[in-house]
Structure 1
């Protein structure tokens, strides 16, 4: 399809958001199931239980770093890809995709090697106790072996969506998560492989996803293809796409660092039970917020393309609909955590002590969940339009500048409860700051093309 007739610039914005975001939302929720399903199976497995849950929780920050690298080059590359298509520069768009693919492969291989060398030292640094360390090592050693599969499949999935195939991108994630869900009980229970079985199921499913995506971009179905000539790294292209991906990278990296600090503080104030409980909270948080990530991924090519094409009224339409949708999603999640926290926790483990702590932690941690949808979508607006410095600042404010100091200060004053209530404090303040900067940005947008409110969706 020629860039002049690209539906991103002509189709109704509301229809585009449905077309692109629903598959992305479903896909991200399914992708989140990789880790969540592992925790459910391990938490209920004889001989693993709480220690197995704690083992995965200790290794979870490393899993987040893998996601961060995939998004760094995937989201950054897809953003540059969409902007170049909007500017009617298809060759430069394909160069962005080729460079991103090379960076994904290189970083995945590098991560795999470093992980094998420094695994035990990293896990101890991340708060693993002597009891939990063997469980965590058994799981993460295999996860590191498949690092290149996860990074490449996650990163290139963004290009599949930007290439006009949101449903195919969703099917790709469906395929990988489906394989993981099927293989988990086979490896963990039937073959009695324990932690190693859960990890092996995960990397095999990610390998299948990667092969499926690469078959698309090297095959005949794709509008834009991966060419070997475009895989040769060019400094200008590689640096630009990396810069565009930094907000997504930093939000995940900050999340990883946050989880490390959490694990260390939880171990100090609540022991392994608190670590296991927070692992359950993190799993539920992943399921609740992944729809927002999917919504953001679905709207990103719409916003980036129309921003590049100078169709600011369409950018504004996409933003309004995305914020409304995100708010509805988080409100539903917030209500569920208020009404049935015990039911959610019981999916992972039914130990009375763990149930009591996790149910309380769930309600405390999600106190200000309703404002998070707006904060994430509004921050992404700056990333999708190339304003990376503001996007990075907003990202770091929520999880680094506010939440981390709050965890230390609140825990010293109120102990374990202080750790849990640091999250709503950070959520509320960061949402207020984001709203302030967002209002100024939208006012500037309306000055460039006035009367935006009167346009149809």
Structure 2
């Protein structure tokens, strides 16, 4: 059974497992090396260096957002085009995606390097933290193109049905980054510059690995020189679908900026360090759910393109169940070992450990149900419904978290910062439930219709627009 037949006819549970476990392992390793990096920074340099990486985080999120804008949008369209048996069009999407993944981060890097200090101050750097943040972020931005290729183009590998290869990309970067960070910080004594340099060198190696896969002839979807020329209908289709996760990441960056400013006002550098530690731990718990979502996306997209709506529903249901189990396990971990987890990042700093522990337990109070929201948002991305995906992706940050973050601390001080997240999570999950219930009802109605009726369903957004544009 070839890849297309397996996607169309294979057992959903086995398919979801085979696509998800490589992504979950890769995401776990990827987040684990970020945790280890921050442990190295905290123990090898100090708490101000942790605060510096927290200040730099919104800028790195913007870089990630650009990679996701192109990577996720192109991945969804590649999966749909392969499901429609349109391999040549899938290659056009991949070629345009590669071109934008290189160009956009390069533009962002130039802008940052011209205005580094005012940008970092705007993102919450104090006078003590600014030198560390500047040293770290400048090196990261110089290597931004490599990070974008390794993240964005790696999604194309997963879209064509090769999740193991995509996993190897992330494993390679994670292992090299961890090793280089240890050598540069503890052995060579290069401080926070060494941490950034280790990250960039690892991204360079991962980018070379991804490009070698497409250029060596091993890939199903080929990267052809003629397809690198920008095609506006293709780019608009990519960006329409990728806009939801892109906007979510930009909202994350804005949220982090406001959070940093609020923390500095109510808690100072220690509160900023506490959030840096908390983000590392929460990322470690989030990544397996995101890996599961990545595994489900090509299965949902392929079968939606092939009008196999029962398989689409089954994939979503099983992914939600698995995501909820993962989230529940993470929730138990932070309640059983909160002091042990937070204590890994500081050298006997009892006050920092206590603050981080309390903040994490409050901030992540609604974590057990977050898997449902992530998988459902990914579903809308996978089927090309950009509007719904954008609403769900932005609901937590823009509609709920940021307004609550601006209001609650006025009443509760620093405690209001920690209580913002569980309230925002609850409201966004309620919205997600309403949209996904309506969508599942529509799929059920379409299951028994003949194929020509399926074409009249409401997939008339970015994916349909691109289809008609390309055929002209």
The TM-score normalised by the length of structure 1 is 0.96
| SS of residue paired to 2:267 | helix
| SS of residue paired to 1:430 | helix
Query: Does 1:9 pair with 2:8?
Result: yes
State how 1:433-452 maps to structure 2 within 5 Å.
433-449=431-447
| SS of residue paired to 1:280 | helix
From 314, 331, 337, the equivalent of 2:311 is: 314
1:413 counterpart residue number: 411
Distance in 1 (CA, whole Å) between partners of 2:448 and 2:322 is: 24
Mapped contact 2:43–2:345 kept (Cα < 8 A):
yes
Mapped contact 1:98–1:230 kept (Cα < 8 A):
yes
From 191, 196, 221, the equivalent of 2:218 is: 221
Distance in 2 (CA, whole Å) between partners of 1:314 and 1:20 is: 15
Mapped contact 1:70–1:154 kept (Cα < 8 A):
yes
From 248, 255, 259, the equivalent of 1:262 is: 259
1:372 counterpart residue number: 370
Alignment RMSD (CA, Å): 1.3
Q: CA deviation at 1:38?
A: 2.0
Mapped contact 1:244–1:383 kept (Cα < 8 A):
yes
Query: Does 1:384 pair with 2:382?
Result: yes
Unmatched segments (≥5 aa) in structure 1: 452-457
Distance in 2 (CA, whole Å) between partners of 1:10 and 1:338 is: 42
State how 1:296-315 maps to structure 2 within 5 Å.
296-315=293-312
Mapped contact 1:250–1:396 kept (Cα < 8 A):
yes
Distance in 2 (CA, whole Å) between partners of 1:188 and 1:32 is: 19
1:237 counterpart residue number: 234
1:191 counterpart residue number: 188
Distance in 1 (CA, whole Å) between partners of 2:51 and 2:39 is: 12
Q: CA deviation at 1:34?
A: 4.6
Q: CA deviation at 1:26?
A: 1.2
Give CA-to-partner distance per residue, 1:410-448, whole Å, 9 cap, x none: 100100000100100000111011101111110111111
Mapped contact 2:161–2:298 kept (Cα < 8 A):
no
Distance in 2 (CA, whole Å) between partners of 1:260 and 1:36 is: 21
Q: CA deviation at 1:215?
A: 0.3
| SS of residue paired to 1:44 | helix
The TM-score normalised by the length of structure 2 is 0.93
2:205 counterpart residue number: 208
| SS of residue paired to 1:229 | helix
From 67, 72, 80, the equivalent of 2:69 is: 72
Mapped contact 2:52–2:130 kept (Cα < 8 A):
yes
1:454 counterpart residue number: none
Give CA-to-partner distance per residue, 1:163-216, whole Å, 9 cap, x none: 221111101110111001111111011111000000000000000000000000
Mapped contact 1:108–1:149 kept (Cα < 8 A):
no
2:354 counterpart residue number: 356
1:430 counterpart residue number: 428
From 99, 111, 115, the equivalent of 1:114 is: 111
| SS of residue paired to 1:395 | helix
Runs of 4+ displaced beyond 3 Å: none
Give CA-to-partner distance per residue, 1:219-269, whole Å, 9 cap, x none: 121112100001111000011011111111112111111111111000000
Distance in 2 (CA, whole Å) between partners of 1:104 and 1:6 is: 30
